[in-house]
Each structure stands twice: as C-alpha cells, then as structure tokens.
C-alpha cells in the first residue's frame, strides 16, 4: 500500500475515534478531520501521477474506517443492495438455485425444493454451459447469478452438462419470486422425538417452526430436538417469536442496551405459547450465533430446555440498517443484547484492541456468574455453555484438504448419476465403493502438505541453518520418506473420517438437506446425546435443577 493511501486511511479512521472527548471539542475534531479528508482527496485526485478511481478510493477509506469497529458493521454500496436484501429477507426473483464454483466449474449446489430449477429436474452438480445463449463456462458466480435473476414471470433458457450424460440438458424456466425456507429438515425420530433443523432467522422462521412442530406432534411427537448448529442468526423478532413458542406470554426474552437511549429496549413474549411441557433439547455448535443464541440462551435461562453440543459463538451485538445517500446503506452495530439472566454472551472485545489491531476473547477472569430462573449457575462473556458438552470432531489434514478440494462433491455427483435410485436413509458406502473412490481421487492427482510435513521441512531448514544438516541428513531423509509413505496411504488410513463425509455428500446430492440428515442422524453424536437425555425423564429434570 502506498504512503499516500495509508495516510488517507488514517485520516478517515481519525473521524471515528473521538467518542470520549467533550462534545464541543469532539465536533470540532470531526469537522476538522472531515475537512482534511476532503482536501486530501481533492489533492490526490488532481495531482497523483496516475488516474485514480474516486469510487474505489473512497470505498477503501470507508472500509478501512469500519475495520476499526467490528466485523458486523458494513457499508453496503448501491450495487450490493439486492444481495443484502436476499440475505436479510430470504427472498429474490429467479429460478430457485444456489450456484457455486467447484474445481473451476459453475455448478448447481442447491436446487431449492418446489421452485423452477427443482421442478425441471435439475440436480446438485449440474454444470452451467449457457444462460440465454451466452456462454458462461469459466464465468464467476456473481456473473452467472446475475443472468439467472430477473423479474418474476420472465423466461430464461439454460444449457447444462450432467455427469455421465452425453447430451446437454436444455431447459427453459420461468422466473418466480423465491422465498428460501428457514427449516432444511424436520422429521419424527424414533422414541417420539421431533427433530427440526433451523438454518436461518429470516421473516417467517417462527411460523415455520410452529407449523413443523404441530405437524410432528400430530404424528405422535412428545419431545423436541431443535437443531441450531451452524445457524448464524438473523431477525431478532423471529428469535423472540420462536422462544415464545415455549415460554409464557409476558416473559422477557432479551433486552438491548446501546449508546443511544433509543436502543435501550426490553422484548417480551407477546403471544400464548404453543407448548410449556414438552421436553426440549437445543443442539449448539461453535457457529451457533446471534439470534440462535437468543433462542438457546433464553430457553436455558428459564430452565425450559437443555443445551447439547459445543459452546456457542458468542455474538451479543445488535445491528441496524441505516439508509445513506445515493441508495447506499450502513449496517451498524447499535447495541448489545442481554438474555433473561442478565448476561451478555459477547465473546470478543472489539472495544479494547491490541496495538496490532487484533481482538481478544474476553478473559475468563472477567466473566461473571449469573443464575437461571431456577437457580442454576451460568456465565457471561464467552458464548453459551452447553448443559451437555459434546467434543467437536477434529479431522486430519488430509480429510480437511480433501473436503476443501471439491473432490467429495464431484465424486458424489458421479455416484448419484450412476446410482440415481439410492435410498439415503442410513446409506453407507461398501468397501468396494470406497476403494473405487480412493482410486478415482488418485487419478485426480490429489495432493496436500500435512502439518507434520511442514514441520519436518522447517526442521530440515533449521538443521541447515545451524550446520547440523550433514550429520542428520540420513535421519531426516528417512523421516521424510516415512511420512511420505504414510501420506500415500492416508485415504485408506482415514477411512473412518472420510467415508461419513462422502456418504453425507451423496445423501445431499440425492435429496438435499433431508437426504443428508437421513444419512447421518442415526450416528450424529449430538442427536444421540439429546435423544438419551430426553428419554430419561429423571435425568432431564435433574439437569435443570440447581446442584
């Protein structure tokens, strides 16, 4: 970065750092630095040796300023308004397919059930060739996505490739208003356990949960497993309404406190609950965040549910969208939220950054003790602690790199093209099929460098630097060769890690999230633990009683 641009960013950031100075001095400093900023930009634009892009330069300055705050405060330029609207509402007009790049190919990653792409028989893994006569091979995801979207009722022509199919697929779809469901899967498990996987909190989430719950109760459900793993949150009001399904009317669900008194609010349940007696287990993970934590935390604070899984993310911040000029927007953090016990579960302290700009988690020594309504001890400042902790799966480097390579996705596409009638429920790969997969991966020349190999390379470099290499050369070479031998057999050695991931990917290709769940639910550690505690009424009640 040039010195001029660095200076430019520093001046922009300076405009936001006067929160604790006296009002008159603060306003003078703001006016002064804005004037400096404007005059500096004018000089750079006029005299810099090369042409500069004013819009790009200003946005760089804006983003540099906001980086000093938190990752949830964002500037939304006019061209990104549509993307932001889709993220917050779950609605858009198109063909109902999520697309992505897998090994340099633009493919369908999710054809949403009930919408044009799904109804036309398009599948996960189908590769785009043309959209409305335009060749899109090698194009970016945003470029292809823009061509697919349009006004409801308009038509779009697609040409796609499908694995193991010689002829291209040619379809003409009529665009529709797409509303993505918040629930990816709901079902009745054995033992009268209702299972609901809630992925988002866009408008309508609470009604979807209510409807799914009532349908499952009609089928005989007596207990509920609400899966909030990997749910990053969304609408505060949907979170309140979901909590309201299990809490009496008039109970506090969450309160917010900000710098402005306008943001100091208490949110209570407004409606009659749907069920106050059904035992509930909420599944959590390290990526259960924001609105998900409001639901999980409020149910925990009222001793209305047990939390099963891992400590949640710890996002106790509330964002509000503010309209700016020229159709731009600012999504800004305006308050912190507090759940009924009085705790804020915010884990990262963005106010007190280190000198290098990094942010630390709130220290355990600063965490405070609170009590649930029944008197159980809970703590603030680091996410929600589960009532039943389940160790998160840790994968070897080879497994992680294989998953990131897109090869599991590709092989699942091929497998499903060859075996379209495979039933996903409890699906398992045979030894023969897994060996076929290993051979296919080797043909693709899959390579990676393990942490052990990296450390060995560092050891060799250190030995050379310290002049020990000549004496250790044979031993180091033997070590590297041994590691290489292990790496060649990693796909077989790590079958117990890799095979379940591939089986779940195949399940997803067959029947989307429902298929993935059908493959995995009977071996899911958190689900099994939830079923166990819900089945044991005495243990469930004891867990919700102060010890």
Q: What single string gives the DSSP state of each residue in 73-115?
A: -EEE-GGGHHHHHHHHH-EEEESSEEEEEETTEEEEEEE-TTS
In the prediction, which pLDDT does 90 show? 61
Residue 102's CATH number: 2.30.42.10
Please identify every residue annotated as catalytic: 290, 301, 315
Domain tally, the chain = 4
In the prediction, which pLDDT does 453 show? 76
Tell me what percent of the residues of the chain surpass a pLDDT of 70.
Answer: 93
| 2 has a pLDDT exceeding 60 | no
- Mean pLDDT, to the nearest integer, of 492-503? 95
- Mean pLDDT, to the nearest integer, of 137-149? 90
Query: Could you tell me the end-to-end alpha-carbon distance of the chain, in angstroms, rounded to an integer?
Result: 58
Does 78 map to a domain? no
Q: Which residues span the domain enclosing 46?
A: 3-68
- Mean pLDDT, to the nearest integer, of 5-26? 50
Q: In this predicted model, what pLDDT tens digit does every residue of 274-329 receive, in sequence order?
A: 999 999 999 999 999 999 999 999 999 999 999 999 999 999 998 888 888 888 89
pLDDT band at 490 (very low <50, low <70, confident <90, very high): confident
Residue 219's CATH number: 3.90.226.10
Instruction: Measure the CA–CA gap between 140 and 101, rounded to whole angstroms.
Output: 8
Q: Domain boundary at 148, 179, 210, which? A: 179
| 142 has a pLDDT exceeding 90 | no
Query: Do 219 and 354 share a domain, yes or no?
Result: yes
Q: Are 362 and 347 in contact (CB under 8 A)?
A: yes
| 169 has a pLDDT exceeding 50 | yes
Q: In this predicted model, what pLDDT tens digit does every residue of 328-342 receive, in sequence order?
A: 898 899 999 999 999
Query: Do 505 and 442 share a domain, yes or no?
Result: yes
Selected residue with higher pLDDT from 135 and 25: 135
φ, ψ (nearest 5 deg) of residue 221:
-65, 135
- Mean pLDDT, to the nearest integer, of 351-377? 82
Query: Do 244 and 203 share a domain, yes or no?
Result: yes
| 77 has a pLDDT exceeding 80 | yes
Query: Do 458 and 515 share a domain, yes or no?
Result: yes
Q: Are 81 and 111 in contact (CB under 8 A)?
A: no
C-beta neighbour count of 486 within 10 angstroms: 13
Does 77 map to a domain? no
Q: Record the tokens describing residue 540, joined without a space.
A: 């469930």
Query: Do 208 and 164 share a domain, yes or no?
Result: no
Instruction: Measure the CA–CA gap between 450 and 533, rounded to whole angstroms.
Output: 39
In the prediction, which pLDDT does 411 show? 96
C-beta neighbour count of 212 within 10 angstroms: 22
Query: Do 372 and 421 share a domain, yes or no?
Result: no
In the prediction, which pLDDT does 182 show? 95
Q: Domain boundary at 377, 392, 407, which? A: 392
Query: Which of 198, 214, 220 minimizes the C-alpha distance to 90?
Result: 198
Does 153 map to a domain? yes
Instruction: Measure the CA–CA gap between 519 and 99, rounded to whole angstroms.
Output: 23
User: DSSP string of 340-403?
Assistant: TTS-----B-SSS--TTS---BPPGGG--EEE-TTS-EEE-SS-PPPSEE-PPP---HHHHHHH
pLDDT band at 4 (very low <50, low <70, confident <90, very high): very low
Does 103 map to a domain? yes
In the prediction, which pLDDT does 354 show? 72
Q: In this predicted model, what pLDDT tens digit does every residue of 206-238 receive, in sequence order?
A: 999 999 999 999 999 999 999 999 999 999 999
Which residues does residue 107 pair with via DSSP β-bridges, in sequence order? Answer: 100, 127
| 13 has a pLDDT exceeding 60 | no
Does 220 map to a domain? yes
- Mean pLDDT, to the nearest integer, of 509-514? 95
Whole-model pTM?
0.84
Query: Do 250 and 175 share a domain, yes or no?
Result: no
| 15 has a pLDDT exceeding 50 | no
| 86 has a pLDDT exceeding 70 | no
Does 81 map to a domain? no
Q: Are 279 and 224 in contact (CB under 8 A)?
A: yes
Reported residue count of the chain is 547
Q: Domain boundary at 179, 195, 230, which? A: 179
In the prediction, which pLDDT does 89 show? 63
C-beta neighbour count of 449 within 10 angstroms: 11
Query: Do 429 and 461 share a domain, yes or no?
Result: yes
Query: Do 203 and 282 share a domain, yes or no?
Result: yes
| 484 has a pLDDT exceeding 80 | no
- Mean pLDDT (the chain, rounded): 89
In the prediction, which pLDDT does 489 show? 81
| 11 has a pLDDT exceeding 70 | no
| 353 has a pLDDT exceeding 80 | no
- Mean pLDDT, to the nearest integer, of 2-22? 45
In the prediction, which pLDDT does 408 show? 96
Cα–Cα distances in angstroms (integers) from residue 329 to residues 9, 74, 224, 321, in the given order:
20, 8, 40, 7
Query: Do 331 and 199 share a domain, yes or no?
Result: yes
In the prediction, which pLDDT does 87 show? 65
Query: Do 60 and 194 share a domain, yes or no?
Result: no
Query: Do 381 and 411 share a domain, yes or no?
Result: no
| 6 has a pLDDT exceeding 50 | no
Does 51 map to a domain? yes
pLDDT band at 361 (very low <50, low <70, confident <90, very high): confident
Does 79 map to a domain? no
């Amino acid at each position: 970065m040039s010195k001029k641009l660095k200076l430019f960013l520093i001046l922009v950031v300076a405009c936001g750092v006067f929160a604790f100075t006296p009002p008159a001095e603060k306003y003078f400093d703001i006016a002064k630095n804005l004037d400096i900023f404007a005059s500096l930009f004018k000089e750079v634009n006029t005299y810099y040796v090369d042409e500069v892009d004013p819009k790009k330069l200003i946005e760089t300055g804006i983003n540099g300023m906001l980086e000093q705050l938190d990752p949830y405060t964002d500037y939304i330029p006019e061209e990104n308004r549509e993307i932001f609207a889709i993220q917050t509402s779950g609605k858009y007009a198109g063909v109902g397919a999520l697309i992505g790049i897998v090994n340099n190919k633009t493919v369908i990653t999710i054809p949403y059930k009930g919408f044009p792409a799904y109804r036309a028989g398009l599948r996960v893994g189908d590769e785009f060739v043309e959209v409305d006569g335009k060749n899109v091979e090698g194009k970016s995801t945003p470029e292809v996505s823009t061509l697919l979207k349009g006004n409801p009722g308009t038509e779009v022509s697609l040409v796609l490739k499908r694995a193991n199919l010689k002829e291209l697929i040619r379809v003409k779809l009529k665009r529709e208003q797409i509303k993505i469901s918040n629930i990816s899967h709901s079902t009745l498990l054995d033992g009268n356990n209702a299972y609901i996987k809630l992925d988002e909190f866009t408008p309508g989430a609470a009604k979807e949960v209510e409807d799914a719950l009532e349908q499952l109760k009609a089928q005989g459900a007596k207990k509920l497993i609400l899966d909030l793993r990997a749910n990053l949150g969304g609408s505060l009001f949907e979170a309140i309404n979901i909590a309201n399904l299990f809490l009496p009317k008039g109970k506090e669900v969450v309160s917010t406190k900000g710098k402005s008194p306008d943001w100091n609010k208490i949110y209570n349940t407004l409606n009659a609950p749907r069920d106050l007696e059904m035992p509930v287990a909420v599944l959590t993970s390290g990526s259960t965040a924001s609105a998900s934590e409001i639901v999980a935390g409020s149910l925990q604070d009222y001793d209305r549910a047990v939390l099963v899984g891992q400590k949640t993310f710890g996002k106790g911040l509330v964002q509000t969208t503010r309209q700016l000029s020229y159709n731009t927007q600012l999504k800004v953090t305006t308050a912190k939220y507090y759940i009924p016990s009085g705790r804020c579960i915010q884990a990262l302290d963005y106010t007190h950054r280190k000198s290098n700009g990094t942010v630390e988690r709130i220290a355990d020594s600063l965490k405070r003790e609170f009590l649930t309504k029944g008197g159980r001890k809970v703590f603030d400042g680091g996410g929600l602690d589960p009532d039943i902790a389940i160790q998160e799966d840790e994968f070897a480097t080879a497994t992680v790199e294989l998953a990131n390579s897109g090869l599991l996705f590709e092989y699942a596409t091929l497998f499903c093209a060859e075996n379209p009638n495979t039933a996903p429920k409890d699906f398992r790969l045979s030894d023969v099929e897994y060996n076929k997969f290993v051979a296919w991966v080797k043909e693709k020349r899959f390579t990676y460098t393990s942490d052990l190999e990296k450390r060995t390379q560092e050891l060799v470099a250190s030995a050379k630097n310290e002049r020990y290499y000549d004496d250790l050369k044979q031993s180091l070479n033997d070590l590297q060769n041994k590691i290489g031998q292990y790496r060649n057999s990693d796909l077989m050695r790590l079958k117990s890690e890799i095979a379940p991931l591939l089986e779940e990917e195949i399940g997803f290709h067959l029947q989307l999230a429902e298929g993935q769940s059908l493959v995995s639910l009977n071996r899911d550690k958190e689900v099994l633990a939830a079923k166990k505690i819900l089945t044991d009424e005495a243990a469930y009640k004891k867990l919700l009683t102060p010890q």
